[in-house]
Amino acid sequence: MALNDNATLVVGSGNYLTAPVGTPMPDDLLVPTSPWQTVGHTSLEDVFGITSDGGEATTIGTLQNKSLRTKYSARTETMTLTLQQFDLAGLKLYFGANAPVLPDGSVGVPAEPVPTQSAFLAIFIDGENHFAIYAPKAEIYRNDDMAIADTESLAGLPLGVKPMTLGNNSWTYAVTPLGGIVATGATAGTPGSFTPTGAVVPASLDDLAAVTATPTSAWTTGKYVALGDGSNAFWSGTAWTAGKAA
């Protein structure tokens, strides 16, 4: 991996947004439009975190090779942030989407809370760089107990955001790489090229999932694109396939 100074990140500002489940990532991350809505003020000290459960490794062997393979259990990840806005929307994110609004305007804390389901987007700004984390489907609910420690700091509502698989997706959330332009198109050649100009070459076959092929019909014999891991791929007319078109 080459050194890339432009791929470093120091968060200067940021925002967290929600939208209905399945809402795509906005075209302009710096100016997200409806239906994306900000969750409100969040902590300057506890900016963001990702914790995980699971992922334990189990070594599988044979009589001839005691360490033949390694199998990993499923991993569940939780994104954490601290909301500092105690309005109706914020309280429902913390106490549950089914928290009732009582006749006097207060919010009831449900005995059997239901997490809020939505698409989730975190955007972090570093000068001209911006880094985003996007989940098309997530469950949002309290991540820790609320504690008001003193009279000088803003009180907070610790939230946990659990990304979930949407439909036939093989992924739960996506992140935008820094230091280059994401490839959105691939043109057949020997090898072919990626667009827009200057786009970072996708690392592997899996990274071609969101790349549009040109032409969209099956590529002719010998056509391919070279990937970052040293492998090749071509468009079969219906899917990206490893190797060169035959």
**Per-residue pLDDT, 2:** 62
* DSSP conformation class of 36: -
**Per-residue pLDDT, 118:** 98
d(CA 188, CA 201): 14
What is the total residue count of the chain?
246
Judge whether residue 101 has pLDDT over 80.
yes
Helix count and strand count (H, E) for the chain = 1, 18
Cβ-contact 83, 146 below 8 angstroms: no
Cβ-contact 166, 21 below 8 angstroms: yes
The pTM of the full predicted model, rounded to 2 decimals, is: 0.73
* φ, ψ dihedrals at 219, nearest 5°: -70, 145
Q: How sure is the predictor about 142, in pLDDT bands with cuts at 50, 70 and 90?
A: very high
pLDDT over 90 for what percent of the chain?
Answer: 78
Judge whether residue 216 has pLDDT over 70.
yes
**Per-residue pLDDT, 1:** 52
Q: How sure is the predictor about 193, in pLDDT bands with cuts at 50, 70 and 90?
A: very high
The string of pLDDT tens digits covering residues 2-43 is 677 878 999 999 999 999 999 999 888 888 999 999 999 999
Amino acid at 182: V
d(CA 221, CA 208): 20
Mean pLDDT across 84-105: 97
Collapsing DSSP states into helix, strand and coil, what is residue 74? coil
Judge whether residue 147 has pLDDT over 90.
no
* DSSP conformation class of 99: P
The string of pLDDT tens digits covering residues 111-136 is 999 999 999 999 999 987 889 999 99
Q: Calculate the average pLDDT of the chain.
A: 93
* DSSP conformation class of 45: S
Q: Which residue has the higher pLDDT, 82 or 130?
A: 82
Cα-based distances in Å from 2 to 132, 183, 194, 204: 22, 19, 20, 17
**Per-residue pLDDT, 130:** 87
* Residue whose pair of structure tokens reads 């990937």 in the numeric block: 227
